[in-house]
Amino acid sequence: MAQYPHLVQIAWQTVTKLVDDWGKNPYFWEREIDVQAELRSRLASLYSVLGVQEVISTEKDTHAADGIFTYRYSRVACEPSVAYKYSDKQTYRAMPDVVVWGDLEDPSVTAEDWPILWACEIKYMGGVKSDWDIEKLGFLIDQNRIKFGCWLTFEWDNSLKTSDCSWDTSTHGARLWTCTARAPNTAGLS
C-alpha cells in the first residue's frame, strides 16, 4: 500500500490483522456488529498505547470559570452521522461503520465538521451485497469529508479449502481500498 499518515497506517495494519485473524477463526465473530466492535476496540487500544486516543473539542460555557468547556472524545467512533452531497446535489447522511477522527485545527468546530482521517464500511456474511457503501465512501472522499476509506467484506465460499483475502483499489486509487476476506464454509462439518 501507499505511504499514509501514521494513524491511517495503523488503521490499515489493524484491518489486515483482523482479516488474518478472521481467516484463522471465522466463527469467532457471529455478526457484522461483532466485527465492527472488534475493529473499533483494536484501533482504540492501539491509539491509547500511543497516547493519541482522544480528540479535544471546546465549547463556550457560561458556567465554566474561563468561559470555555473542554470535551474529550474517543478518536475512534462507530456509525457517526456524516453529511455529504449526492449527485443530485441534495445533502444526505452516511454512517460509516468505523471512523478515525483527525485532530481539530479549530477545537471549537462542531462535531458535524470534524475531519475524518479514515472510515471503514463492513459487510459481513449474509449481509446484502451492494456497491452502495463503496459509492458513499467515494462521495465522502470526493468531498474531502474523509481522507481515506476501506470497504471490508467478509464472505463464506464453499469452493475454498483455506481462507484468503484480496485487496484492490477503486476509482479513488490509494485513498479507497476494498478488501474481500473469504473463508471456507465448514459449519457443521467434522
Q: Can you give 80-121 as a three-state secondary structure string?
A: CCEEEECCCCCEEEECCCEEEECCCCCCCCCHHHCCEEEEEE
Q: Do the domain assignments include residue 189?
A: no
Using pLDDT thresholds of 50, 70 and 90, give the confidence band for residue 190: very low
d(CA 102, CA 72): 13
Q: Do the domain assignments include residue 139?
A: yes
pLDDT at 128: 56
61-65-66-72 Cα dihedral, nearest 10 degrees: -60
Q: Do the domain assignments include residue 165?
A: yes
- Domain of 54 in residue numbering reads as 6-183
Does residue 10 contact residue 43 with C-beta atoms inside 8 Å?
A: yes
For the record, the C-alpha cell of 156 comes out as 463464506
Number of domains in the chain: 1
What are the backbone dihedrals phi and psi of residue 36, each rounded to the nearest 5 degrees, phi first?
Answer: -60, -50
Sign of the dihedral defined by the CA atoms of residues 140, 141, 144, 150, in that order: positive
Q: Do the domain assignments include residue 109?
A: yes
For the record, the C-alpha cell of 84 comes out as 455529504
Residues 127-165: tens digit of each pLDDT: 556 678 888 899 899 999 999 999 999 998 888 888 889
Does residue 176 contact residue 184 with C-beta atoms inside 8 Å?
A: no
Q: Do the domain assignments include residue 1?
A: no
Residues 161-187: tens digit of each pLDDT: 888 899 998 778 899 999 999 998 876
> Angle, nearest 10°, between helix axes 6-24 and 32-50?
140
Q: Do the domain assignments include residue 188?
A: no
Does residue 95 contact residue 81 with C-beta atoms inside 8 Å?
A: yes
Q: Do the domain assignments include residue 69?
A: yes
- In 15-87, the DSSP E strands lie at 54-60, 68-74, 76-78, 82-85
For the record, the C-alpha cell of 170 comes out as 477503486
Residues 3-40: tens digit of each pLDDT: 899 999 999 999 999 999 999 998 899 999 999 999 99
Q: Do the domain assignments include residue 113?
A: yes
